[in-house]
Structure 1
Amino acid sequence: MISRRQFTQTALSFAAACGLPAPFAQAQPAARVLRVVPQAEPLVFDPHQSQANVTSVHAAMVYDTLFSWDADMVPRPQMVETYSKSDDKLTYTFTLRPGLTFHDGSPVTTRDVIASLKRMFIRDTQNQIFAAALAGMEAVDDRTFTLKLKTPFNYVEFLLGGSNGIAGSIMREKEALTDPFTPIKEIVGSGPFKFNTAEYRAGSKIVYDKFAGYIPRKEPASGFAGGKVVKVDRVELNVMPDAAIAFGALQNGEVDFLDGPSLDLIPTVASNSNIVVGEVWPIETYAVLRFNHLHPPFNDLKARQAVAHAVNQADYMAAAYGDKKYWRECYGYWVCGSPNGTEIGSDAFRKPDLDKARQLLKESSYDGRPVILIGGSDIPAYQAMSMVTVDILKKVGFNVDLQLTDWGTAAARRAKKDPPAQGGWNIFHTSANGAQLASPLTSPSTITTCDGKNFVGWPCDQVEEDMRLEYIRESDPAKQKALVEKMHARLWEFLPYIPLGQFKQPFLWRKNVTGVVKANTLVYWNIEKT
């Protein structure tokens, strides 16, 4: 049987010989063009509409934020030149850097900033506590504005960039006034790259050009912070859903970078001296099985418990991430190894018990209707986890309807609250950068507000949410730690979702690419290609 690697090499040779219009049969790119295969194709380009990783990568290129997190998750001024706060900590005054310009040549003003923040506060689920503490914002002039609070809040600078460090993207006032639940129609930011609308080809290529009018900060690049110095003329995202084709293109020099590549093929390039196996995300992350709490059967705790008692993390990790050197079991909701990495409350779920799972399902209100599992077939790990879940659901006694699409389509669908049989869903799998997931403050996954504004799946548990609010308002580290442990035990009782294990995600690039920045999301400034 021909191997995936042999198939790739044969396909490359055949395409080159016959002149076929395959994405990998192209001329060697110029040194000033960085050609990337994205983890998946972004279909949502509005930074306030989605925090999916593919959307965040896009937003980090096109837009800028008032503050940005550095490599140590410390907020640093980005668009802000200077700021101060009153003695009572209720009034903040911010002045923008001079010369900030949108891609259409118009100046960035405080009208744009205030409108963007108002829109972000409505859509950013993790920022609702900040939004509730906000008394108002007012422009002093085109570069200076004030932000007033009802009560002191310790995380103003940290969350002004958005709860993932990017969702606070500043857009023109005309886009920012778009209904927060309606996608913007024009992609115009003030960030280091311009979205090339003319060359956008859905399903094939997304192009970003260097924005000549961008003025980087003087500090060195660190995470999302510091000087966003662009050292290439353009970045081209070449959509290649087939992992073998993407790896072949990298080996043959037709692309320069693979974002979040499939781990099972990394051994095929590990000994290639022209390819770097590197790290981008600063800490490990984890994969999850996410429930929809609005609709049967998983609005019933016993149905969620039935699934949780059938899960074997090792099965998921082995299927999705292969070699055990890349993964480990972890029963922490806030990332094992992080300051909040407790596993308290998980003991009952560490070994699968199918008999108990089947009994819980019988005790639940499940009526036999199909469980609709959505997922991304173009991300091998998500597809593999979906197949594992299909198997365990059937063993427990659920009927399953597996509906795999490209990840961009699945990520858009998961935001729908419609009944599963009418375009909604019951379960999906995902992963995200561990830095955001490592704290009750920033993790969207563990917010359990009952207002329907929290992260997709919309779990409602006011007991947990009240403890999270107490944690955020608490300034004593010892008391915060005790609250983390209480919250974590409660999460395993309530089961907003199921952690499936923790992993390291390598990234791949050719050795003539240097300057890759470690950040919570892949960024393309500071990168050189020789």
Structure 2
Amino acid sequence: MKKTFLIATLASALAASTGLAAAQASDGILTVATIGEPPTLDAMQTPTDIVLMIDQHIFETLYTYDAQWKSVPLLAAAMPEVSEDGLIYRIPLREGVKFHDGSDFDAKDVVASLTRWMAVNSKGKQVAGIVESLTEDGANAVVVKLKSRYAPLLATLSQASIILPSEKVADTLTEFVGTGPYALKERKPDQYTQLVRFEDYASPEGEPSNYAGKREAIAKEVRFVPVPDANTRVEGLISGQFDYADSLPVSAFERVEASGNAKPVIFENAGWASLNMNMQQGPLTNKALRQAVQVALNPSDMMLAAFSDDRFFSVDASLFPTGSFWHTEAGVARYGEGDPEAAAKLLEEAGYDGTPIRLMTSRQYEFHYKIGEVAKAYLEAAGFKVDLQVVDWATLTTRRADPKEWDIFITHSNFPGDPTTINTITDSYPGWYVSDQKAKAVAAYMEATSDDDKLKAWEAIQTVIYDDAPLFKVGNFNAVAGVAATVGGYTPTYWPHFWNVTPKN
């Protein structure tokens, strides 16, 4: 899938560098304002956007995503050699790569890291169920033997499956040592996470393409500063306090554009917002009530409240945007302008007893909060009692792991290269979406080999998702961020990255 974006500035202002060949290491510092404090730097445990944004500078994975969101080598030396039956993957590893502690990267580190990933990560646990063995093949290759075909294997190895030195692998990480272009120097909670250039970094080859290709640590230091208040991020960007400000309110677009000190950036179809429902405990274990939630909600009003202007969003029931290979209307149901009367009838038929629905959201993503306010109004109009709980993002990501604590939480996701890597499809992702028909539909996808077969299988999965109602897709959004006018070489990506970026003098 090709992820499109529009740079809403003069191209010359954002792409000031003339290419990596001309880039030189700098003593400059890039100060990045983020939406808040990361709950951890362990991306295996908590693969949220804020964690992945920072972690990708420290840690690397075997594969990563190029501009088409296809998985391509990063720490792997090449694409895997796959047996004819699709059950054995031999993955060659790059040589000459070092960790930040000076140790050499090899197959032992990969086996130890992926073993931990399969034990603690939601997608890793899903992979573990179909892995027969994971072994070293000499120092520079690993072999993965599967019990059955697994179409999204490389996609799942392209995100939170970070590779650590085998000696540092533990149930709870105490040292954050990777192979990335930047090393962790200091983390002061609620103040900053300080990364410094790794002088012995071994970059992959190739032209930069999304997260793939050559990586150069031009800035001597990248400092991530938690700034939960969106308006403070805007003011800091305009004043020059920050070189980059993440997740800005759309209302700030014109002001940043007119400032002369910074440029706004729009990412088309940066992701999609959803209300995820608890299928393990509480009233929404009742499928009819989850479908009533779908019927009650008005996606157009929620997206308009969240983004103010249709330049910044689109309302689309498909789980992938128009233009994507995976875009389909198959199975779409109970998605429209909100029908309180029809929803009320479903509530009555389902025997809803008035138990409050705990709707959890955060103001650190302001659009989550605004979606929550409108959702509350529509749900109450249908007859639900709603307890809107507004917490910080770190609390939300912690609390959603406990099924006793919530009924709906609001989140957003990107559009992954493989549709079965959507978080909600994973049995263990908060919400705990488990159903026989989902399992059967996903199993058919895993066996698919051609793109046509995969698309047909994906249409069946989307149909099942609408019927089981584990979530309500609200709509697609175009994210707004800002970068200082004096910063060169910044290229927009879903998880903003700052290698290949030249800081101001």
Q: TM-score normalised to the size of structure 1?
A: 0.84
User: What is the aligned counterpart of 1:121 among 106, 118, 123?
Assistant: 118
- The reply on whether 1:515 has 2:504 as its aligned counterpart is no
- Which of 332, 348, 352 aligns to 1:346? It is 332
Cα deviation 1:489-529 (Å, max 9, x = unaligned): 22222111001111111221012112223434211111112
Shift of 1:151: 4.3
> Which residue is equivalent to 2:10?
none
Structure 1, residues 416-454: CA drift from partner, whole Å, max 9, x if none? 23x2xxxx21111111222x1x6432212234x4xxx2x
Cα gap change, 1:403/1:89 in structure 2, threshold over 3 Å: closer, same or farther? closer
| Contact 2:268-2:477 at 8 Å conserved across structures | no
For 1:194, the aligned partner's letter is A
Match among 425, 438, 443 for residue 406 of structure 2? 425
- Paired residues of 1:71 and 1:518 also in contact (CA < 8 A): no
What SS is found at the alignment partner of 2:32? Answer: strand
Q: CA deviation at 1:363?
A: 2.3
> Which residue does the alignment assign to 1:206?
193
Q: Deviations over 1:64-123 (max 9, x none)?
A: 111222111222221123564455554443343222222222222322210111122234
Aligned to 2:76: 80
Count of aligned pairs: 478
Secondary structure in structure 1 of the residue aligned to 2:134: strand
| Counterpart check, 1:148 vs 2:145 | yes
Q: Structure 2: state its 5+ residue gaps.
A: 1-25
1:136 to 133, 136, 152: 133
Corresponding residue for residue 480 of structure 1: 454
| 1:442-492 per-position Cα deviation (integer Å, ceiling 9, x unaligned) | 212234x4xxx2x21111222122112212311243333333333322222
Amino acid at match of 1:233: K
SS in 2 for 1:266: helix
* Residues 296 and 366, structure 1, Cα contact 8 Å, conserved in 2: no
Question: Which residue in the other structure is 2:465 paired with?
Answer: 491
| Pair 1:282–1:60, CA change in 2 (3 A) | farther
- CA distance in 1: counterparts of 2:388 and 2:57, whole angstroms: 34
2:174 is the counterpart of 1:185:
yes
Q: What is aligned with 2:378?
A: 392
Cα 1:123/1:326, change in 2 over 3 Å? same
Amino acid at match of 2:118: F
Say if 1:482 and 1:67 are closer, same or farther in 2 by CA, change over 3 A.
Answer: closer
**Equivalence for 2:440:** 466
Is there any run of 5+ residues in structure 1 with no aligned partner, and where? 1-29
1:265 Cα deviation after fit: 1.7
1:465 partner SS: helix
Match of 1:443 among 398, 408, 422: 422
Please state whether the residue corresponding to 2:102 is helix, strand or coil: coil
Question: In structure 2, what is the Cα distance between the partners aligned to 1:348 and 1:442?
Answer: 24
- Contact between 2:344 and 2:383, CA under 8 Å: does it hold in 1? yes
Q: CA deviation at 1:141?
A: 3.4
Does 2:21 align with 1:35?
no
Task: Work out the CA distance in 2 between the residues paired with 1:474 and 1:398.
Answer: 41
1:397-433 CA deviation, whole Å, 9 max, x = no partner? 223222212112211221223x2xxxx2111111122
Amino acid at match of 2:48: A
Distance, in Å, in 2 between the alignment partners of 1:385 and 1:483 is: 31
SS at match of 2:425: coil
The equivalent position to 2:343 in structure 1, one of 357, 360, 384, is: 357
Q: Conserved in 2, the CA contact under 8 Å of 1:40 and 1:379?
A: no
Which structure 2 residues correspond to residues 205-244 of structure 1 after superposition, within 5 A? 205-244=192-231
Q: 1:220 to 1:126 in 2, by over 3 A?
A: same
Q: Report the Cα distance in structure 2 between the residues aligned to 1:425 and 1:382, rounded to whole angstroms.
A: 16
How big is the alpha-carbon RMSD for the aligned residues of Structure 1 and Structure 2?
2.3
Structure of greater relative contact order (alpha carbons < 8 Å, 6+ residues apart): 2
Distance 1:515 1:472, change over 3 A: farther
Q: Counterpart of 2:140 in structure 1: which amino acid?
A: R
3-state SS in 1 of match to 2:90: strand
2: CA distance, partners of 1:243 / 1:103: 34
Indicate if the aligned counterparts of 2:441 and 2:464 stay in contact, CA closer than 8 A: no
Question: Which of the residues 169, 180, 188 maps onto 2:162?
Answer: 169
Secondary structure of the structure 2 residue equivalent to 1:528: coil
| 2:42 equivalent in structure 1 | 46
Residue 368 of structure 1 aligns to a residue whose secondary structure is coil
Q: Distance in 2 between matches of 1:478 and 1:99?
A: 40
Question: Which residue of structure 2 aligns with residue 407 of structure 1?
Answer: 393
User: CA shift at 1:346, angstroms?
Assistant: 2.9
| 2:364 match: secondary structure | coil
Cα gap change, 1:174 to 1:194, in 2 (>3 Å): same
Q: Against the structure 1 CA distance between its residues 331 and 103, is the aligned structure 2 distance closer, same or farther, given a 3 Å change threshold?
A: same
Counterparts of 1:336 and 1:346 in 2: how far apart (Å)? 15
| Cα displacement (A) at 1:126 | 3.8
